Structure 1
Amino acid sequence: MTTATLTPPATTPTTARPARRSWFSDVWLVMTRELRPVVREPFSVVFGLIQPLVFLGLFGPLLVGSVGESGLSGADVWQWFVPAILVMTTLFGTSTTGSNLQFEMQTGAHERMLVTPLSRSSQLVGRSLKELVPLTAQAVIVVLVMLPFGFRADPVGGVLGILMLAVLGIGIGSLSYALAIAVRKQEWMFWVVQQTVLFPLLILSGMLLPLEGGPRWMQVASSVNPLRWVVDAERALFAGDLTASAVAAGWVAALATAALGLVVGVRTIVRSTD
């Protein structure tokens, strides 16, 4: 009598499926990757403060000395000037971020990122969100430095003001990245366009001097400059006037800039082939 032996059915090896990634996890991965150099070398954040501190230290006293001509009261000069300098820090810092992408394109790091499973849109958004950290740090440092000189910052308004600057910075940074990709074969064009656009926006925003005494054409041009509305909103927020109409206009300008920057930036990087 023989005993039947049961042989287990043969099993075929199954191929492990890669874990599904979400778009938000890709954004987080890119953002943390971009932040590592900042954490390792925070000197870059401090270096970005040189220009605004020079303006505060050299231009500020001149503004205080000419308050009679500018229409400002001496006690409120810093309340008027410091919020504008915070916007300037955002403008100067984020408008040059495209140069970092240019360096990565030169070294081939950008191309290696494009062939990873990370979605291209998440790469742009992650890079842009990374700007929140240095912007916040720089704004806090400027405010703390100016407090002993008489600058008064409303706590709630200050937090909202820094948040508005972060939203604005996302938009400007995205446009800077898009510009770097668009002129990747003519890198010198990045600085030509950046400088050509930067200074008219700066002057027509009323950051440095009031525009009320300027020619009519400058006042009309400033009315369509989104930075003008953000500057006015920052002054109102840091003064504690949270319900001012200028605050609402500033949020509209900052959100519109962020939306435009992200749309243009994502479309540019998605179409990028090099």
Structure 2
Amino acid sequence: MKLLRDTWLLFQRQILLMWRTPMWLFFAIAQPVTYLFLFTPFLQKALVPMGAASMKDVYNIYVPGLLVVMCFYTGLFAGFGLLAEVRMGILERARVTPVSRSALLLGRAARDVASMLVQCALITVMSFPFGLTVPLPNLLFAYVLLTVIGLMATAISYDIALTIKNEGALGSLLNTIGQPIALLAGVLLPLAIAPVWIQKLALLNPFSWATNSVRALFWGSLSDPVVWQGTAVVTVLAVITVILSTRLYSRNVS
């Protein structure tokens, strides 16, 4: 109970700090909005093999991938904020507080995931006038899955940041690994139209499973095995990465 209470209190504090600079939201969704309005119209012919007979179908195929990549990149770069706290001595001051060491990290991670979901909700709402349709139960479950995806990406970023503790090295590493992971997740185009060797390689990418799951939900296939397979994969990996992050963080503030 103490862990949950401390996490909630720190989450509230982090949200308050974030809303003191509301311009973050504008800059966070600027690029996704650009892709939504200027890239999606090019996809109808490319997605014909996937059954895209209209722009409505295009948005149902593309928007899920866009939401996944938003959670992926937002989470992947969350480590910079954590390193900034290290540089400002927040970890040092945390040593003398009675707050749970794990809650210090989980409260921050919850804030990062909440900001992702706000961005995803805005993009989803913007897509409805263009023909996006998704059953409400499927949409709600998709957002649960996006929460897990965002948490996993954030925890991975924290793991890397707490290991290398260098912003320059962190930026180079994330830029190097981020793009191939995103492309092999099929966020721009479904992997079903990719060469067979890319499809097989993508099976090693947990974000590929996640993208396929969210895309199946947007197509209205809640009972599709892909949904539950992807959910199981990202949930297990999210638990592992969060446990590793909390241990690394606790070690740094001990």
Q: Deviations over 1:129-179 (max 9, x none)?
A: 222321221111111101111111211111110111011111211221222
CA contact (8 A) 2:184 2:205 kept: yes
Amino acid aligned to 2:6? D
Give 2:83's match in structure 1, choosing from 78, 83, 102. Answer: 102
SS state at 1:272 partner:
helix
Q: Deviations over 1:83-129 (max 9, x none)?
A: 11010110111111111111112222232123322222121222112
CA contact (8 A) 2:72 2:153 kept: yes
1:81 maps to 62
Once the two structures are TM-superposed, the CA of residue 74 in structure 1 deviates from its matched residue by 3.2
Aligned residues: 252
With 164-173 and 214-223 compared, the bigger mean Cα shift is at: 214-223
Once the two structures are TM-superposed, the CA of residue 188 in structure 1 deviates from its matched residue by 1.0
Give 1:93's match in structure 2, choosing from 71, 74, 77. Answer: 74
Q: In structure 1, how many angstroms separate the alpha carbons of the residues matched to 2:237 and 2:16?
A: 27
Residue 113 (str. 1) matches residue 81 (str. 2): no
Greater percentage in helix:
2
1:214 maps to 194
Q: Deviations over 1:178-200 (max 9, x none)?
A: 2222122x321111221122111
CA contact (8 A) 1:101 1:110 kept: no
Which has the higher Rg, Structure 1 or Structure 2? 1
Amino acid aligned to 2:52? S
1:204 maps to 184
SS state at 1:48 partner:
helix
CA contact (8 A) 2:32 2:70 kept: yes
CA contact (8 A) 2:94 2:253 kept: no
Cα 1:171–1:71, aligned 2, differ >3 Å: closer, same or farther? closer
Once the two structures are TM-superposed, the CA of residue 65 in structure 1 deviates from its matched residue by 4.0
Once the two structures are TM-superposed, the CA of residue 273 in structure 1 deviates from its matched residue by 5.2
Amino acid aligned to 1:251? T
Unaligned runs of 5+ in 1: 1-20
Amino acid aligned to 2:7? V
More relative contact order, 1 or 2 (CA 8 Å, 6+ apart): 2
TM-score (ref. length: structure 2): 0.92
Once the two structures are TM-superposed, the CA of residue 214 in structure 1 deviates from its matched residue by 2.8
2:245 maps to 265
Work out the percentage of aligned pairs sharing the same amino acid: 28
CA contact (8 A) 2:91 2:253 kept: no
1:151 maps to 132
TM-score (ref. length: structure 1): 0.85
Residue 229 (str. 1) matches residue 229 (str. 2): no
Once the two structures are TM-superposed, the CA of residue 38 in structure 1 deviates from its matched residue by 2.1
Give 1:256's match in structure 2, choosing from 233, 236, 246. Answer: 236
Q: In structure 1, how many angstroms separate the alpha carbons of the residues matched to 2:251 and 2:22?
A: 33
Amino acid aligned to 1:223? L
Unaligned runs of 5+ in 2: none
Give 2:148's match in structure 1, choosing from 160, 167, 185. Answer: 167
Once the two structures are TM-superposed, the CA of residue 66 in structure 1 deviates from its matched residue by 3.0
CA contact (8 A) 2:82 2:161 kept: yes
Once the two structures are TM-superposed, the CA of residue 47 in structure 1 deviates from its matched residue by 1.8
How well do the aligned residues superpose, as a CA RMSD in angstroms?
1.9
CA contact (8 A) 2:101 2:253 kept: no
Amino acid aligned to 1:140? A
Amino acid aligned to 2:244? V
SS state at 2:133 partner:
coil
1:15 maps to none
Once the two structures are TM-superposed, the CA of residue 71 in structure 1 deviates from its matched residue by 4.2
2:6 maps to 26
